């Protein structure tokens, strides 16, 4: 193979490996938070991959995923972050963000939401 062919091959390989990340991976992970009761907060979570993973959140001790319902005080935003409209003591606990695609699944470390007195 000529040097030019090798360079073209390496360039194409590098482009494909960065343009097609494949299996889900954590890009931005949430961290523990202490939030006064009644205040809003957001746990950021960005999980990337190709195809784009579907993001879900779970709270320890609760069955199933956190889903967006109209009377809920917490929502999963389009960017994958978990948003609390008004933190209550009942929101205290440990939360995990998970990204899932046909190529696999990855979860963040559990993070803790603690309420603080005003």
What structural domains does the chain harbor? 21-116 (2.60.40.10)
- The mean pLDDT of the chain is 86
Q: Is the peptide bond before 89 cis (omega within 30 degrees of 0)?
A: no
**What pLDDT, on a 0 to 100 scale, did the predictor assign at position 112?**
98
Which residues fall within 8 angstroms of residue 40, CB to CB, at 6 or more apart? 83, 84, 85, 86, 87
**What pLDDT, on a 0 to 100 scale, did the predictor assign at position 97?**
96
Give the 3-state secondary structure of residue 72: coil
Tens-place pLDDT, residues 70-109: 668 899 999 999 999 999 999 999 999 999 999 999 999 9
**What pLDDT, on a 0 to 100 scale, did the predictor assign at position 66?**
78
pLDDT exceeding 70 applies to what percent of the chain? 78
Q: Which pTM value belongs to this model?
A: 0.78
């Amino acid at each position: 193979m000529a040097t030019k062919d090798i360079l073209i091959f390496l360039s194409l390989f590098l482009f494909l490996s960065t343009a097609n990340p494949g299996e889900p991976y954590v890009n931005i992970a949430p961290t523990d938070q202490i939030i006064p009761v009644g205040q809003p907060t957001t746990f950021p979570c960005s999980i990337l991959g190709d195809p784009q993973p579907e993001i879900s959140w779970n709270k320890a001790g609760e069955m199933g995923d956190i889903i967006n319902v109209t009377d809920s005080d917490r929502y999963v935003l389009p960017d994958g972050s978990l948003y609390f409209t008004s933190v209550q003591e009942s929101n205290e606990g440990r939360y995990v963000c998970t990204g899932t695609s046909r190529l696999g699944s990855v979860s963040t470390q559990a993070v803790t939401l603690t309420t603080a007195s005003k």
